[in-house]
Each structure stands twice: as C-alpha cells, then as structure tokens.
Amino acid sequence: MASRTIRLIMAKPGLDGHDLGAKYMARAFRDAGMEVIYTGLQQTPDQIVTAAIQEDVDVIACSILSGAHMGLMTKVMKKLAEKRMDDVLVLVGGAIPRSDIEPLKALGIAGVFPTASPPESAIEFIRKNVKRG
Amino acid sequence: MYDKDALDAIAQRKKDWEKEFKINESPKVTTDLDLEVDAVYTPADIRDVDFLQDIGFPGEYPFTRGPYPEMSRHRPWRYALFTGFDTPEKTNERWKFLYKTGQPTFNVVYDLPTHQGLDADDPLAEDEVGRLGIPISTLRDWEVLWDGLPMEGVQFNSNMETLAAIILAFHLAAAEKRGISPAKLWASVSNDPLSTAVSKGTTVFPIEHGVRLATDLIEYACRHMPRFFPVNMKAVNMAEGGASPSQEMGFVFSNALCLIDETIKRGIDIDEVAPKFSFFGCSTTHMFEEAAKWRAARRLWARLMKERYGAKKPASMMFRFTGYHNPLWMYPEEPELNLVRAALGALGSALGGAQAMPHPSFDEAYAIPTEKGQSLALGTQQILAEESNITKTVDPLAGSYYVEWLTNRMEEAIVGKMKEVEREGGAIKAIKSGFMTREILDYFCRQQDDIATGKRVVVRKNKYRLEEDEDIESRVALHKLDNEAVQGHIENLKKTKAERDNGELRRCLDDIRQAARGKDNLMPFLIRAAKVYASIGEITKTLKDVWGSYRETIIV
C-alpha cells in the first residue's frame, strides 16, 4: 500500500541470456507507474544486492530461464539477509517448475511467477505486498 | 506468363468480385509484418514477376527455388537435432541414441558456462554446469564426447558462437590425435559473434575482437579445410529473441556482410569465402510466410553476392540454411500441442527449402529434451520428409499467386531492414548503439500485447483454455539435471588440470596473449594450447586480459 512511487530493480542473475521476459515485464512495471532499473545480463548475486542497495529499491525482481534459480536465489537471499534488507520484496520469474515454488518461498521469496505469467498478476502482487512507503 | 489484356481482365474481375461479395466491407486481414492480405490472389497480383528472372530453376541463379537442382527428392534434408547436457559422457550416449533412431549426423549445444568461456570448476559457473548444454572445458571433454564415434564421414555441427575458434581448436587437436587431417573434416560451426550480441548475450569479448577471432577462423578454414563451413550465421538467436521475419533476415544479412567484408580485407576472394557461409534461422507455424521468407532470402542473397560483391561462382550465391521451429512460440499449456506447432514450423522450413533441421521437443517450455522428446521430434521430421511426399518436387509453392506475392513483400521488407542498418553505420554500429536489439524488443512486446488482448490467438493460452489447472510435471517425465554426474565431471576437470604439462601450458597461453595483441591468425596458437589441455576458461581469460570483456548496451 505504498503511496509514493514504487522503485523496482529487474535483475538477470547468473549466465542466462534470455532477457525478453525481464524486459517485457520491466516495461509493464514502468507503464504501471513504477521506477524501474534494469541490471542487464550476467549479474552475480552480490552485484544484484549491491545495486538494490544503491538504488534504494522496494522490490527486487529476478528473471531466470536457465533452471539455475535454486542456487542463485539461495545466494541472493543470503546476501540480502547479511545486509539486513528484510523490507525489500523479492520476486522470481522464469522457467520455474511448480515443485520449486514452495522451496523458493521457504527462502523468503515473496512471489514466484513462472514463464509468461501475465504482468498484471505481478503488478497487483507488488502493490498489495510492497512493504515500504 | 499472361498477356497484358488477360491480366487487365483478371485485375478488373478481382475488383468486381471484391465489390460483388462485399469483401471490402469485411474486416481487414493482416499477417506478419502487418501485411494486409487479400481474400484471393490472382496472376494480376504478380504481373511484374518474370518467371526466368525471378523464379527460375533450383540450382541456378537467382536460386529462388533452392540451391541444388533436386533438393530433397532423393535424400531427406539433414536431420540435425542438437543435444548436450550433464557431461560429455551423457551427451555421447544421446548422440548414439539419435544416430540409432535415424539421425546420421552429430550436433551439439553447449552449457552457459562454456559459451561464456568459463570452466566447469569456475565459481561463476556454479549451478549452471551441464544444465542447458554440454560442459566442454578441455580437449579431454571433447575426446570423451567423440568416444567410439567417427570424426570423419559423418556431418557434425557445433553451436558455438563467439568462442567457435577455441572449440574448433579442440576438434582439430582431437582429429589430429586420430590421424585425421583438417581437410577431411566435414562440419560446421556457428562462429557468429554479431547475432549473439543482438540477442542471447554469448558475446564474451568487445565486438571488434569477437569479429577478429571469427575472421581468424574463417581465414584458417578457407586455407586448410575445404569441407568445413566456418560460419553458420545465427539468425536463430534473433528469432528466439523475438525478431520479426524481416528483422531476422535483414539483421543477419547485415551481420553476414560484415564478416564477409572483414574476410575480404585479408585478401581472400569473395568466391573463396561466400561458399563457406550458411545460415541458421527459425520458422513458425505461419508456413506460407516462412516459405516466402526463405525464398526471398535466397533470391536476395544471390543478388547481393553477384551485384554487390561481384561473385562469379554459383556456390558463392547459394543461400543455404538450417531451419528450426522457433521455441519462443511454444507454450506451457497442454504442451503436447507443441508437437503440432513444431511440425508446422518444420513444414514451413521444408516448403522453404531447408538443407538441415534441428527440432525442439514438445516440452521446450519446461526443460531441455528427454530421449522421448527427441524421438518424437526426430520422428516428426522423418514423417514430413519421408511420408508426406512434399519433397517429391522442388519448391512446390512456386507459382502460387499468394506465395509469389508474399515472397516479393518479404524481399522488400528484408531489404528495408538492411537499409536501416546501413543508415546506422553498418552492423557493428547498429549493434553497439542497441538499434537492432531495440527494434526486436519493440516488435516482441507488440506481439506479447497482441497475445494478452487475444488479437493473436495462442490455443489453450488465450483461447480454448482448459478448466483444470494442469499438473504437467506429474504427467510428463521432464529432463532433470544429474547433479552427481556433473560433480563427477568437475572432479575430472580438476584432475586433468593437475596432470597436464602446466609449464608448456603457460608458454602456450603466453603465445596466445602475444598473438592477441598483434594481427597473427590465432588458430595455430589455439590448437597448440588445446593439445596440452588448456581449458576454455584459461584461453578466454588470456584473451580477455588483452581485449577486455564485452559490455552490453542495455536496452529496455
């Protein structure tokens, strides 16, 4: 229920070069009135968290289509915990099997959006669950 | 083909027919490239088409109907399903399965670390080894891949883009160990650092250095490997990146001409280099549009080679391609239906005159293919090529008023895209400025919006949806990474690195570094390093020390 503009970073963790989903969603988030920063490809978990801090974001959205989401997001969430960033909403989208949704949530990820989830579902989710503002 | 009076009469009758049946009052119908499509096409719609000049015969200029006189009449196109996963051992097994199931070729895809020049034991490779392709770190991995398999006499295609030269070095080193000379190797490699900078991001080095490395490979092949295709331009990367038919072909042609220009600068004649280029692109379920696109590409390429480059040999003017149903337009809902989509895509490639075809598995939206998925994929192609009779004559769609009209429109659109790239200052500038990437992204986003609104139908996704929430994963046996095998592979790599002649290795890397600073062809240096089991990571890092790393022009 943020009243000020929601700041979101769209990140591409790991080596995956499929960025269409990330960019399509980034544009949708921007059209929905959010301030969106896109990291570009091949970001390490450390780089993502550093950028999130620098940009003072409310939401971190990670797009992963390589199947490496469990390992990568475990590292991202660990780094966020180290930096005590518990008020940032973390979302993951991409090639996520149904069986990995609960394990991802158990890491502290708030929302999981498998491939081609409609942008509206993510936008609504963010508006409802964003913690700051 | 018809005299002027007859054509005028037909054109008039078309106008009258449209009026009589109120065609103009019914909604506009459009297809790819926002082309408005008439209800019917007639000879009058292609009145300016000259049969001998524009359509002609296969195997001769302008090659609209195909590069070879008989195409697939006696032999199917090359079945070319690529594979790669977990370890070289596992990939070798799948290769043998595919061979047994009727694919007499070997085709490989690499995992993300290998594409990026990272060894399997690199911290940055963690979680990604063997996931989307084969991990290849050293010559040892290459030798395991080829264990028990012939390296000559069977066509081999390798998917590597920017680091093709390193992979070729491994291949040449392995072949030499078997006593096979480079001249005997019948194979191809992508070797396209440009299309990957537009989409997919396996660019690794700053673009100019990637182009230098690619040209080193082309030059080496021109001089030493008569049966080797050193370039298989990756239009597919851009198509999978969302490109329209004209963007896919227009941008890949621009990229191809850039590499040709670089090769010619080294004193190699157009008639030596052009025959060594081939293309790898996508088809979709829009089979007439795809057939028209491929025919237009052939005619345009022939004209470019002859008129712009002064090519004299017919082989220089032949556009040869690998066609692949675009996995971007395959969906997770009731995934078995993707068997149909991929079959239609293959049909578009076949009617377009493809020389080779990989084929995605129906569960592409979920995972890389299982054995079963690839058996179904290969079987689809085999049915098309050998049961449907579509190959009995060459270019059966020629002469269709619609398809000839569409071919002309496709050619115009592709030429238009090439001109846009020229206005940007050529391929490299158009890539670095983000022009190509932005154009493609804009087109893709429009398509996605059309899918969201239902304007573009995707069965089961935005129309005819199933009520129940399907649990695909309990119904379909999906491929799963074999973590244990991958860990074993990483241990083997550490062993290889410990047991090789590391003194000689360092000397080889120093020589590579020196050569990278200058203008010498890098291939001999890479081959020497390959032989002492230098890793792809070590070689890439050495090159990056001199050239730097690619920096993406971020376009959203």
Q: Where are the domains of chain A?
A: 7-129
Token duo for residue B372: 């079963």
Whether residues A116 and B242 touch (CB distance < 8 A) is answered with no
Whether residues A97 and B365 touch (CB distance < 8 A) is answered with no
Rounded to whole angstroms, the Cα distance separating A108 from A110 reads 6
Per this entry, what is the length of chain B? 556
Rounded to whole angstroms, the Cα distance separating B535 from B540 reads 8
Whether residues A42 and B366 touch (CB distance < 8 A) is answered with no
State mean pLDDT over A115-129.
Answer: 94
Phi-psi region of B285 (alpha: psi -120 to 50; beta: other; left: phi over 0): alpha
> How distant is the Cα of B193 from the closest Cα of chain A, in angstroms?
14
Q: Which residues of chain B have pLDDT under 70?
A: 1, 469
Helix axes B536-547 and B207-224, enclosed angle (nearest 10): 120
At A52, the pLDDT band (50, 70, 90 cuts) reads very high
Q: Which residues of B touch A98 (CB under 8 A)?
A: 471-473
Find the distance separating the first CA and the last CA of chain B, reported in whole Å.
50
Token duo for residue A26: 């980034």
Statement: the pTM of the whole predicted model exceeds 0.90: yes
Strands B30-31 and A7-11: unpaired
Q: Which residues of B touch A36 (CB under 8 A)?
A: 556
Please check whether residue B504 is in contact with residue B530, taking contact to mean a CB–CB distance below 8 angstroms. Answer: no
Q: What is chain B's alpha carbon radius of gyration, rounded to the nearest angstrom?
A: 24
Rounded to whole angstroms, the Cα distance separating A117 from A63 reads 12
Token duo for residue B190: 């992508």
- CA atoms in the 13 A half-sphere facing the CB of B497: 15
Phi-psi region of A42 (alpha: psi -120 to 50; beta: other; left: phi over 0): left
Rounded to whole angstroms, the Cα distance separating B65 from B353 reads 8
The reply to whether A31 touches chain B by the CB within 8 Å rule is no
Determine the pLDDT at residue B139: 98
Please check whether residue B427 is in contact with residue B262, taking contact to mean a CB–CB distance below 8 angstroms. Answer: no
Helix, strand, coil % over all residues of chain A, rounded to 5: 40, 20, 40
Whether residues B116 and A42 touch (CB distance < 8 A) is answered with yes
State mean pLDDT over A44-67.
Answer: 97
Phi-psi region of B127 (alpha: psi -120 to 50; beta: other; left: phi over 0): left
> How distant is the Cα of A82 from the closest Cα of chain B, in angstroms?
20
The reply to whether A98 touches chain B by the CB within 8 Å rule is yes
* A38 → closest Cβ in B452, B473, B554: B554
Backbone angles phi, psi at A68, to 5 degrees: -95, 20
User: What domains appear along chain B, each with residue ranges and CATH number?
Assistant: 4-46 (no CATH), 51-475 (3.20.20.240)
Token duo for residue B145: 């891949």
Rounded to whole angstroms, the Cα distance separating B214 from B463 reads 45
Please check whether residue A77 is in contact with residue A103, taking contact to mean a CB–CB distance below 8 angstroms. Answer: no
The reply to whether A118 touches chain B by the CB within 8 Å rule is yes
At A115, the pLDDT band (50, 70, 90 cuts) reads confident
Determine the pLDDT at residue A132: 67
Determine the pLDDT at residue A36: 98
Determine the pLDDT at residue A4: 84
CA distance to A121, B143, B155, B295, per residue, from B487 (Å): 38, 19, 31, 47
pLDDT above 80 for A1: no
Token duo for residue B336: 């078995």
Please, is B337 exposed, middle or buried when counting C-beta atoms within 10 Å of its C-beta (0-12, 13-18, 19+)? Answer: middle
Determine the pLDDT at residue A41: 97
List CB contacts of B126: < 8 A, sequence separation 6 or more: A71
List CB contacts of A54: < 8 A, sequence separation 6 or more: none
* A15 → closest Cβ in B113, B241, B332: B113
List CB contacts of A106: < 8 A, sequence separation 6 or more: none
Rounded to whole angstroms, the Cα distance separating B427 from B90 reads 39
Q: Can you point out the beta strands (E) in B336-443? A: 356-357
Backbone angles phi, psi at A93, to 5 degrees: -130, 160
Q: What is the DSSP string of B176-199?
A: HHTT--GGG--EEE---TTHHHHT
The reply to whether A62 touches chain B by the CB within 8 Å rule is no
Whether residues A68 and B448 touch (CB distance < 8 A) is answered with no
Determine the pLDDT at residue B1: 64
CA distance to A94, B24, B34, B35, per residue, from B28 (Å): 36, 8, 11, 10
The strand order across the sheet containing B228-229 reads B106-108, B156-158, B187-189, B228-229
Whether residues B131 and A72 touch (CB distance < 8 A) is answered with no
The reply to whether A67 touches chain B by the CB within 8 Å rule is yes
Rounded to whole angstroms, the Cα distance separating B229 from B134 reads 22
Please tell me what DSSP assigns to residue B2.
-
Compute CA B69 distance to the chain's CA centroid, rounded to the nearest angstrom. Answer: 23
pLDDT above 90 for A131: no
Strands B35-36 and B30-31: antiparallel
Q: What dotted CATH number matches A7-129?
A: 3.40.50.280
Determine the pLDDT at residue B474: 86
Token duo for residue B472: 């695909």
- The string over B144-174, giving b where at least 16 C-beta atoms fall within 10 Å of a residue's C-beta and e elsewhere, is bbbeeeebeeebbbbbbbbbbbbbbbbbbbb
Phi-psi region of B311 (alpha: psi -120 to 50; beta: other; left: phi over 0): beta
CA distance to A11, A62, A123, B261, per residue, from A101 (Å): 19, 14, 19, 50
pLDDT tens digits for B190-248?
Answer: 999 999 999 999 999 999 999 999 999 999 999 999 999 999 999 999 999 999 999 99
